[in-house]
Amino acid sequence: MLNETPALAPDGQPYRLLTLRNSAGMVVTLMDWGATLLSARIPLSDGSVREALLGCASPEHYPEQTSFLGASIGRYANRIANSRYTFAGETVQLSPSQGENQPTRRTGRL
């Protein structure tokens, strides 16, 4: 299930929440702002449900925390200077994630 949120990310753009469920009752919630893992609720044999991730109480709290809770790692574990890199002698330009002339935190669109 994909839900639009009324809140905006710090960059002023809306973000969405995605909830995935399986037949065993596990429920995972993700946020498309920063590819953030929000929750992983796992059913136990006694009928209770356990949260498996350490995170914030709500998506709105993520910009305020400084521990990178829920962060996921893509192909690059750091920033990409000037949003470009060289591969096989070719310069690959990425979409900047933080404005022009800023480092890219994610690979974005090519």
What residue ranges do the domains of the chain occupy?
A: 2-64, 74-110
CA pair distance 35, 57, nearest whole angstrom: 17
- Give the pLDDT of residue 6: 67
| Residue 12 pLDDT exceeds 50 | yes
Distances (CA, A) of 2 to 5, 15, 28, 30, 67: 10, 10, 12, 10, 26
pLDDT category, 68, cuts 50, 70, 90?
A: confident
Q: Distance from CA of residue 64 to its chain's centroid? A: 15
- Give the pLDDT of residue 109: 45
Residues 6+ apart with CB under 8 A from 92: 84, 85, 86, 110
Q: What is the pTM of this model?
A: 0.62
* Phi and psi torsions of 85, nearest 5°: -150, 170
